[in-house]
Amino acid sequence: MAETITVETVVKAPVEKVWKCWTQAKHITQWYFASDVWEAPAAGNDLHVGGKFVIKMSAKDKSFGFDLEGTYTAIKNHEKIEYDLIGEDKRHVITTFEKTPEGVKVTQTFDMEHQNSKEKQHDGWQAILENFKKHTESEK
């Protein structure tokens, strides 16, 4: 069994808004990157079990880019999304959305990959999650 990493944040917004910003391609392109030198210029999302998503990731200077792709394995509206990343390693990701008095706690648990350190993976996924929080809380 693969070793996993967990990241989380609390978003001060209703769960319906959190879900919309997490799942709609027009929102995904606004937050799915780990630093200011990266961007997500395009995204597609077919949100149903067996459906696929693709997020085009690229350096803003266009020096490097790749597609992040996955296939959904479980979805519970406003509560949980599970998917398998497509690539050399079939890695599983679980994202949960839990209503709390402070807002919606978004937690992601994912299988580690073996190219980068655990700390680098944690920090990268946490940075993306913080970008999501910032985007969702500022979205009108």
What's the structural domain count of the chain? Answer: 1
| Within-domain flag for 66 | no
Whether pLDDT at 88 is above 80:
no
pLDDT score recorded for residue 1: 66
pTM equals 0.94
Mean pLDDT for all residues in the chain:
95
| Within-domain flag for 115 | yes
In the three-class reduction of DSSP (H, G, I as helix; E, B as strand; rest coil), residue 137 is classed as helix
| Within-domain flag for 67 | no
For residue 126, give the CATH number of its domain: 3.30.530.20
Round to whole Å and give the CA distance between 64 and 58. 6
| Within-domain flag for 28 | yes
CB distance 108 to 132 below 8 Å: no
